[in-house]
Each structure stands twice: as C-alpha cells, then as structure tokens.
Amino acid sequence: MELPAMVTPSNSAPNYSDTSTLIPAPVNYEPPPYRYKYQKQRNKIRKDSTSLAFYDFWILAISTCLGKYNPFSHLADPSRDTIWLFDSIAFQDISGAWKAEVTAAYFYKDSGQEVTNTAADIALDIGLHDFGDEQSREETRNTMTERLQLFLDIIAPSTTVNIDFPNGSQQLQPAGSNGISCQVLSVPRRPPVIDTPTIKFEVMDFPPSVSMDVYYNDPWGWTVVSDIDDSIKVTETPSTLGVLKTTFALPFTPVPGMPQLYNHIQQVFSPSWLYLSASPYNLYPVLRPFIFQFYPKGQIILRDNNWMALDDLYTTLTEGTQEFKEKRLYKIHSWIPGRNIICIGDSTQSDPETYAAVYRKHPTWIKGIFIRRVNGFWDNPEERQKKNSTDRFQEAFKDIPRELWKVFDEPTELYADMVRLKASVVI
C-alpha cells in the first residue's frame, strides 16, 4: 500500500512515498495541506521509506496533543476512512440545558485487510474452527476475518467529521493519538413524548448507516447499568482459550435466561439502559447488533484500548477493570445523579467490588446490586472457588445493607426481587 506524503499548501498534485509494509495507509489517500517546514524535514528522509512511514504517522499522532488547534486535522473521506459513532445518553446539566457525550473512532478503511486474512488462515490451520461443530470452516473464517479486522485496521489520528442532528450540526474535535475523539455537545431539548425519546446523529457526506442514537434520560427515573461479558453474553472470561473462541470464532451467545430477565425488568421499571464492559471498543460494531437483538437498546460503554491491544486481549478483559468501571460510573453519576440505578454484573471479574465502591460514595444513587455467580469454564478451579465464595461477597459488600445486594445463579431468582425493589422506592 502507498503512504500519504506531506505536501506544501499549494495546488500541486500530492506526492506519495515508496511502498512500506510497516505502517500501511489506504490507497488514493490525499492528505490535507501541511506546513512547509514539515515538508522540508520530510524531504531529508525521503530515501528511507520505513523512516518516512514513521515520520508521517507520528507527526499526525503527536500533533493530536494540540486538540482543536491541531494544524494537521482534516475531514474524513468516505472513500478512504471508516468512522464509528458510539450511541450515547442525553442528560440535563445544572443549567437545564441538554448535553450528550459524542465519541467517534477513525480508521483507514481496509488498511488491516491483508494481515487479517493471514491471521484468519493461521487460526484455522491451528484448529480454531473445531470449536464449533455448527459452523463450517468457511463460515468460521468469515466470522474471524470480520472480527479480526476490527482490531487490525490502522487508526487515523487527527481526523474529524461534521455531524448533523435535528436543528443543528457540529464539527467534532480531531481524533487523538488513539484515533478517538470524545466531547460533550449541546443537543436539542427533550422531545415531548412519554417513553424514552431518541434522536439520531449522522456523519455528513457519509452513508446514513454512519450514525449514532442519543437516548434522552430525564433527571429522574430508573437506569440499569449492566456488565456484558458473562453477565449477558457468554464470553468465558475465566478461560484464556474460551475468550479467544467466543470473541473471534463463534457466534455471540446470550447467557441463558438473561434476555427474559431484562425483558421483565423493562416491563417493571421502563428504565434507560447502560451496558458497561471492559471489552475493547474494537468490538463495538459486532456487540451492538448482538445486544440490540436480545436486550433493550441503550448506550454501550467499552474500554478505549486501540488496535494494538489485540495481542493482549485477555489482559485487557481481566486487568484494571475495576478502576475503569469506577471512573465511568462516576462520570455517569455526574450526568444523571437523580436517577435510581440498578447494577447487574457477575463474579468472574471485579463487578461486586466496583459496584460496592460506587455505592459507598453515592449511597442514595444505587438502589440494587445483583451479581450472577458464574460456575463453568474456569481454567483454575481454585480461582473459581475464591471468586464464588460467600466470604468474597461478604467482604465486597461489607457495610452495605443486605437487602440492597444479591448473588444469584439463575435469572429467574430475580423476578420477584425486581417487583419488590420497584415497590420500595418512591420517585
């Protein structure tokens, strides 16, 4: 593939460097104008295509530290870039104005395709397709190719887009060095409907599918904060091999009984929904349709690790999860401090400790904590016993009223609890 050249701000045709296999960029990439001093420095290393690739990439990456003043920021191009927008909630700030956090991820389109195809072939050769008798080798390869490319496409720092929404439009801040931009924007006032209203943000000059839904959350009401992996989706987090097969090779599968439980919760509370997971954001395009197929729609919040985390996926899923989730929950509290929160998680990671820590800081915010005890697919039986022990849960929830938390094995155990919880809280 060809790499973009840095060009002077003139009308001359763009120049391209020699092909490099180190940091590929899309074919037919036309970079924005760059300042002459960078072009002059670039000319000094033009003979070394590897160094040139590093120079181009890191100039874009380092310049992201300048935020909106980044001289290299440029609009995304549908012919060369892939854009993801992440669903969000709208909330009222202290002045009564409606706000929403808008997050976008930018990639060079199909830039990891060759590596993806090779990785999928290697995985098949070592027998990864044998995990699923219900899938043929070709079906498994297609699944793996689709999901691997989500990790291997090259991030596009310094890229931005114009978004269009009802009664307004806005250019987002350019992406940072991780290829992500995130900012809070003003949004139209809440539509006057009874149910949780939704508006759509779309990327201008891109297909309508490049969009995000914004779910309005009144200052009062109920919100469910749910973990994803092994709480509502079978991920087999306690098993390294299990994580690989469920993430890349097999169709996503809901935890038995959880879709029915969430439907029951929806009927009892009519809540808004937040799905909070330590899974990397690269899985968003495949997690979103899965969740929306089996569970109520809502915002999905994932960890903002970039594509380079693929070789350490298991660590990403299992380490630092409590710190990540606590920070996100505190941010959510700053958005909707007056709503009643129900927290649902599982025993494989640090959900009990996370929810308990947030409860201690905001005891009137969280009204119930429910932890699914996961018994299968543990690599280490001793770890399973430790994670599922009564002592672990009692220590995690010490000083928290016993009626506010429950550990369950089957989702049906919670049906009556949800009815009682709704009756016990007056909004």
Nearest to 422 by CA among 269, 274, 264: 269
Q: Is the pLDDT of residue 369 over 50?
A: yes
Q: Cβ(313)–Cβ(337) under 8 Å?
A: no
Q: Is the pLDDT of residue 48 over 60?
A: no
SS (H, E, C) 77-145: CCCCEEEEEECEEEEECCCCCEEEEEEEEEEECCCCHHHHHHHHHHHHHCCHHHHCCCCCHHHHHHHHH
Beta strand pairing call for 340-346 and 222-226? parallel
The pTM for the full model equals 0.83
**Rounded Cα distance, 311 and 281, in Å:** 15
Give residue-wise pLDDT tens across range 53-71: 555 555 566 655 655 556 6
Average pLDDT of the residues in 171-194? 87
Q: Is the dihedral of CA 330, 336, 342, 348 positive or negative?
A: negative
Rounded CA Rg of the chain = 23
- DSSP letters along 43-67, please? HHTTT-HHHHHHHHHHHHHHHGGGG
Q: Is the pLDDT of residue 199 over 80?
A: yes
- DSSP letters along 153-222, please? SPB-TTEE-EEEETTEEEEPPPP-TTSEEEEEEE-PPPPS-SS--EEEEEETTS-TTSEEEEEE--SSSE
pLDDT band at residue 151 using 50, 70 and 90 as cut-offs: confident
Kindly tell me the burial class for residue 267, based on how many C-beta atoms sit within 10 Å of its own C-beta (0-12, 13-18, 19 or more): exposed
**Rounded Cα distance, 414 and 174, in Å:** 45
If one counts every other C-beta atom within 10 angstroms of the C-beta of residue 28, the result is: 11
Residues recorded for the chain: 427
User: 409 by DSSP, 3-state: which?
Assistant: coil
pLDDT of amino acid 60: 60
Nearest to 355 by CA among 266, 237, 227, 236: 227
pLDDT of amino acid 107: 93
The overall average pLDDT reported for the chain is 82
| Separation of first and last alpha carbons in the chain | 59
pLDDT of amino acid 134: 52
Residue in this structure with the two tokens 């012919």, named with its chain if needed: 79
pLDDT band at residue 239 using 50, 70 and 90 as cut-offs: confident
Average pLDDT of the residues in 400-410? 97
Q: Assign residue 423 a region: left if phi > 0, alpha if psi is -120 to 50, beta otherwise?
A: alpha
